[in-house]
Amino acid sequence: MRRSAMSYAIHDKQSAPEASREVLEQAEQAYGFVPNLFGVLAESPAALRAYTAVTDILQHAGLNPVEQQVVMLTVSADNGCTYCVGAHSGLAQMVKMDPAVLEALREQRELPDAKLEVLRRFTLAVLSHRGWVPEAELQTFHEAGYGQREVLDVITIVALKTLSNYTNHIAGTPLDQAFAGLEWEPARATG
């Protein structure tokens, strides 16, 4: 994995810029600790607030929590983000994702749940076609019971994970101790 020549601080509530401290406090209350990603993003209050705002807005998504984690893990694995795959593996467990589905996502292979597999494939189509998803892929997605709302939810999560995945690639963000045992490395070369 390529790391940046520039070292990125992982801020805590004391070292973070003033405009980031409240968000870090809220993260600590929500998670019981300040995730390393939040500590890195804190350098830019705009980046930190953008990430947390989109994360909070996903409470209003048409995709349920397991489906959201399918998209997050699919994007993060496709982007080769070791931090996000590890962290979202823990979050997937918290929302009671079927362990066989989680294992397949981490291995970047077909899911044992047909509807979730359609979601995974659609997410990969959004990524590989940069949003210019072929009509056949859209049709398959709709036939599986997903609508326009869920198309937009997938795009929103792709944007969210692009922010975090790229940040982690550049900063070399280490996985939090809370997710020990969920470390992940890409099966294929990235970058």
Per-residue model confidence (pLDDT) at position 187 = 79
74 and 38 within one domain: no
For the chain, where are the alpha helices, taking DSSP H only?
18-31, 36-41, 45-57, 65-78, 82-94, 99-106, 114-128, 135-143, 148-171
Are 86 and 121 contained in the same domain?
A: yes
Q: How far is CA 8 from CA 93, 100, 143, 155, in A?
A: 29, 35, 45, 28
Boundary residue ending a domain (8, 29, 58) = 58
Note whether residue 3 is domain-resident.
Answer: no
CATH of the domain at 86: 1.20.1290.10
Predicted local distance difference test score (pLDDT) of residue 5: 52
> What percent of the chain has pLDDT above 90?
94
Q: Are 52 and 77 found together in one domain?
A: no
Question: In whole angstroms, what is the distance from residue 38 CA to residue 46 CA?
Answer: 12
pLDDT, one tens digit per residue, over 128-142 is 999 999 999 999 999
- 3, pLDDT greater than 70: no
pLDDT tens sequence across 20-73? 999 999 999 999 999 999 999 999 999 999 999 999 999 999 999 999 999 999
Residues 67 and 121 in one domain: yes
Are 68 and 162 contained in the same domain? yes
Please, are residues 166 and 88 in contact by the beta-carbon 8 Å criterion? no
Residue 184 has pLDDT above 60, yes or no: yes
How many percent of the chain have pLDDT more than 70? Answer: 95
Tell whether 24 and 98 lie within a shared domain. no
* Cα(66)–Cα(70) distance, integer angstroms: 6
pLDDT in tens, 27-37: 999 999 999 99
Amino acid in position 24 = L
Type and span of the H or E element at 147: none
How many structural domains compose the chain? 2
Does residue 48 belong to any structural domain of this protein? yes
Residue 2 has what pLDDT? 43
pLDDT of 191 > 80? The answer is no
Tell whether 71 and 42 lie within a shared domain: no
Mean pLDDT of 109-128: 98
The Cα–Cα gap between 6 and 179 comes to 25
Phi, psi of 91, deg, nearest 5: -65, -35
Q: Domain range holding 28? A: 18-58
| 178 neighbors 89 (Cβ within 8 angstroms) | no
Among candidate residues 23, 75, 83, the one with its CA nearest the CA of residue 51: 23
Q: Average pLDDT, stretch 87-101?
A: 97
Band of the pLDDT at 188, cuts 50, 70, 90?
low
Does residue 116 sit in helix, strand or coil? helix
In a domain, 11, yes or no: no
What is this structure's pTM?
0.93
The answer to whether residue 116 scores a pLDDT higher than 50 is: yes
- Residue 112 makes CB contacts below 8 A (sequence gap 6+) with 98, 100, 101, 104
Residues 149 and 172 in one domain: yes
Note whether residue 9 is domain-resident.
no
